[in-house]
Amino acid sequence: MLDAASIITLIGLVQGFFLLTLILLKKGKNQVTFFTIGLLVTFIVDLGWYFFHLIDQLDQHWYLLGLDSIVLYLYGPMLYLYVKSHFNSDEQKITRVSLIKHFTPALLTLFFTSPLFFRTTATNFLDNFKAIVPSTFAVYSLHGLLFDFIL
């Protein structure tokens, strides 16, 4: 049975897919459009995880737990790059080095949690996920220290 919170979340998911469809059908995509699409997909994945959490279906869709840990590291870079590309002139495109630098925590999380996606049952995944999450946060902290020191 759906309660009010899950219905509101489901409405948000439908709106997200509708907006994503409209943006994908738009002609003349530029850099701002691509970061808008990325930010919207990030919101949709996180809302999907929250919806399955609200209706107690995460044990059937256990892989969303791993995706949500990766999505957490995408909010900041997506929002920052969206705003930066929105206010930049056409000559000041965002470079690949900047993209790699900003998405390193998400890529490292994907790298360290990818073996968990090949588990066959939800209990194996959840047991191993609880063991690997602290090391992922340690890698993110190390990443922050290194880039603060370099920059």
What does the pLDDT look like over 122-135, one tens digit per residue? 555 555 555 555 55
Instruction: Give the tokens for residue 130.
Output: 């609880």
Query: Is the predicted pLDDT of residue 143 greater than 90, yes or no?
Result: no
- Using 50, 70 and 90 to split pLDDT, how confident is the model at 113? confident
Q: Quick check: pTM over 0.75?
A: no
What does the pLDDT look like over 34-70, one tens digit per residue? 889 999 999 998 888 888 888 888 777 766 677 777 8
Mean pLDDT check: name the lowest of 42-56, 74-88, 91-105, 126-140: 126-140
For residue 7, give the 3-state DSSP assignment. helix
Q: Which residues contact 43 (CB under 8 A, 6 or more apart)?
A: 16
